[in-house]
Amino acid sequence: MSENIRRQIEDLRTELHQHNYNYYTLDRPTISDFEFDEKLRRLAELEATHPEFYDATSPTLRVGGGVTKNFPTVEHEYRMFSLDNSYNFDDIDDWYNRVVRGLGTEEVEFVAELKFDGTSISLKYTDGKLTEAVTRGDGFRGDEITANVRTISSVPLKLHGDYPAEFFIRGEIYLTHIAFEKINAARAEEGYEAFMNPRNTASGSLKLQDSAEVRRRGLSAVLYQLIGKELPAESHWELLQKARNWGFHTSDFAKLCKNIDEVRAFIEHWETSRHDLDFDIDGIVIKVNNLRQQQLLGYTSKSPRWAMAYKYKAETAETDLLSVSYQVGRTGTVTPVANLAPVLLAGTVVKRASLHNADIILKLDLHEGDRVYVEKGGEIIPKITGVNTAVRNPDPKPVAYATHCPECGTELIRNEGEAAHFCPNEWHCPPQVVGKMIHFVSRKAMNIANLGSETIEQLYRAGLVKTVADFYHLTKEQLLPLERMAERSALNIINGIDKSREVPFERVLYALGIRHVGETVAKKLAKNFSSIDELKNASVDELIQVEDVGLRIAESVRDFFANEGNAAMVEDLRKQGVQLQRSEQSQEPMSDTLGGKTFLFTGKLSLFTRDEAEALVEQHGGRNISAVSKNLNYLVAGEKAGSKLKKAKEIGTVQILDEQQFLDMIQ
C-alpha cells in the first residue's frame, strides 16, 4: 500500500513538473488550468497524509505560506559582477575594439539580449533540483531567499535532460506590465498607494516575509547566464538552448550576431520596439559568444571584459510644481500628489505625479514652486526625479507633509516600519466611507446598476446611508429629492439594490472590502468556508490553509470581524437577505470543452456581457487572459473591435471568432 502511494505521488510530481515546463518554457500548455489545479490538489492531499514522502521540489510548495523573519546572508561561490554601461555607439565601438585587440586574429561572434529591468538572482541546482536562491547583494554576498523564489512558476524546481550535476544560473526577476497593473489595481481597491514601478516592486516582493504573498505578486523570471565547472557547451548561445531544454525560461528575444553591425541593428530595432513589450527593458546586453574567448578576455575589478550593456536614455521633461494635494483612499491611506504644469512626456501630457509618501518628498528636498524633472518611472508611472535648484525662487518654503486628514481633520498616523500615513477615522472620514460604498456597488462586487459615485455621495451627504447595509433600507421617496433624480431612475436603483440580494456569496465577500481580500482571494475563501459564520469563526491557522491566503490576509480577516461596526453591518446585511452563504449549485465546470485554451473578448458584445462570457469560458475549462499575445488562442470580437483585433491579426496565430462561433464551441 505504501509503495503504491509513493508511486502515485512521484507520478503526479513528474506530470505536474512537465506541465509547468510546457506552460512556462515551451508556451504550449497541454491541459486546462482546472485539470492542473485538480492534480495539484490531489498531490497536496496525498502529501499531507503521507509526510514521509516529502520532497523539497514538489510542485505543491509553490503556493508558499511559510513566514521568513530574516534572510541569511551567504557568500556567492562565483562573484556576481556588474556590467559596464554605455549610452552611445562610440562606447560600443571602443568596447568592440578592445575585444578584438584582446583576441588577436580570432573571429568573434556576439549574443545580444534584452536587458530586463528587474532584480538579479543567482540560482543553484544540485542533481537537477533547485537548492538555493540568492540576491546579488554587493556581488560578493547576498540574501538567501529560496523559499520566496520557489513560488515563482517560471523558476523550475526540478530539471530534466542532460544537466550538469551542479551549476549556477543567473537571471532577472521581473514583473510584466499586466501583473504590475493588477497589483496596483488591487492596492487601489484596498485603499493603498500605488507602487512606483515594476522594477522596485519586483525587488521588494522578493524580500516579503510571507511567501504566499510573493506568490500572489505574479513575478516572472528569465535566466540568461550559466556558471560552473565543465559546462556542456562551447558557447553562450548553445548553453542558452540547453538551459531551455532542461526547463529554464530563457528570453525569446536573444539573437546570435555574426558581427558588430548586427549588434548595432539589434540595438536600433529595440530602441523603438521595446515600447511594444509587456515588460520593461532599460537596454541591451552584448556578450562574446565563445566561452573560451570569454576566459581569455577575463575581468576587470568590477566587470567582465567580454560583456557590455547599452542603456537607453529615459525620456525626461522639466516643468513647474504648482502644488501638492493629498488623496485619501477607502482604507485611509493618504497619498501626496504633485500637481504640475502640463508637459508632454513619452507621447502623453503629464499633469500629475505621485509623490508616494513623506520620505520621497524629503529625499527630493521639494520646495513650493520648484522647477522639477519628470520622467516615466518604469515606462509607466510619471515620477519626479529631481529639482532644478538653479532656478529655485528666493526664500523658498519646503513642502511640509500634511499632519491632519485633508477630508475630516483627524490627525494622521504613521505606523512604525510603514512608509505611508493614514487616517484612522474609518467610520466617519467621508472618502473612506464613500469609497467603501462605491466598491460595494461596483461591477465585480454587488453590481448595483444606476447607483453611481455621485449618487452615493449625495446619499451620504444627506445622511441616508452610513454603511453599505443602509442601501437596503432606501425607499423611492428618499431618492426622489436628490439632484437629477427622476422617478424612473429611482425605481431602477431600488430594483438594482433588490436584485443584488441574489449576488453569490463569493462576490458579497469581495464587496465587503476586507483589507487585502481581492476578488481572487474572496473566491477561494468562499470555496473553503461555506458561510460568513464559518469564515468569521475560523482561526488564523485555518485561514492560512487556504490557497493564496497568508498570515497578513488571515489576520486582516480576523480583524475585520472583530470590529463591532463591521459585525453589526454584516448582521444588517443578513437581515436584508444578502447571500452570506455558498449556493448549493455546483461550482465545478460544466465541461472541459475549452480545456487548455485561452480567450479574450473585445468590442461591443450583443449576445452576452463580458462577465457572462468570461464565466462561460471558466465553466467549460478555458482560461481568460487580459491582453493579446502569442499566449492567446481565441479572440472573440464584437462590434467596433479595435486595436486588440488588429494586433491579433498581426500575430497570425490567434483564431478570431464572432460571438455565435464562440457559443457554437461550447454547445
Q: Residues with Cβ < 8 Å from 478, sequence gap 6 or more? A: 464
CA dist list (Å): 130 to 80, 141, 223:
19, 19, 14
Q: Please tell me the chain's helix, strand, coil percentages from 3-state DSSP, rounded to the nearest 5.
A: 40, 20, 40
Helical H runs in 21-80?
Answer: 33-49
Q: Which amino acid is at 397?
A: K
How far is 482 from 493, CA to CA, in rounded Å?
Answer: 13
User: Is 115 known to be catalytic?
Assistant: yes
Beta bridge partners of 105: none
**Catalytic-role residue among 69, 115, 436, 527:** 115
Q: Which of 290, 350, 304, 378 is nearest to 108 (CA)?
A: 290
Q: If you count them, how many residues does the chain have?
A: 667
How far is 526 from 500, CA to CA, in rounded Å?
Answer: 17
- Quickly count: other Cβ atoms within 10 Å of residue 561's Cβ: 17
Q: Which of 372, 367, 277 is nearest to 318 (CA)?
A: 372
Element (H, E) at 525: helix 519-528
What string of H, E and C letters represents the secondary structure of 410-453?
CECECCCCCCCEECCCCCCCHHHHHHHHHHHHCCCCCCCCCCCH
Q: Which amino acid is at 491?
A: L
Extended beta strands in 482-614, E state: 598-602
Cα 112–Cα 255–Cα 275 angle in degrees, nearest 5: 75
Q: Which of 518, 512, 354 is nearest to 437 (CA)?
A: 512
Contact assessment for residue 343 and residue 315, using Cβ atoms and an 8 Å cutoff: no
**Strand 119-126 to strand 129-135: parallel, antiparallel, or no bridges (unpaired)?**
antiparallel
Q: Residues with Cβ < 8 Å from 52, sequence gap 6 or more? A: none
Q: Which of 625, 477, 459 is nearest to 448 (CA)?
A: 459
How far is 303 from 271, CA to CA, in rounded Å?
Answer: 24
Contact assessment for residue 75 and residue 217, using Cβ atoms and an 8 Å cutoff: no
Beta bridge partners of 349: 344
Q: Which amino acid is at 161?
A: G
What is the full DSSP assignment across 291-324?
HHHHHHH-B-SSSBTTEEEEEPPPPEEEEEEEEE
Q: Residues with Cβ < 8 Å from 29, sequence gap 6 or more? A: 19, 22, 23, 596
Contact assessment for residue 446 and residue 499, using Cβ atoms and an 8 Å cutoff: no
- Return the residue matching grid coordinates 573560451: 292
DSSP assignment, residue 656? E
**Strand 634-637 to strand 655-657: parallel, antiparallel, or no bridges (unpaired)?**
parallel
By annotation, the residues acting in catalysis are 115
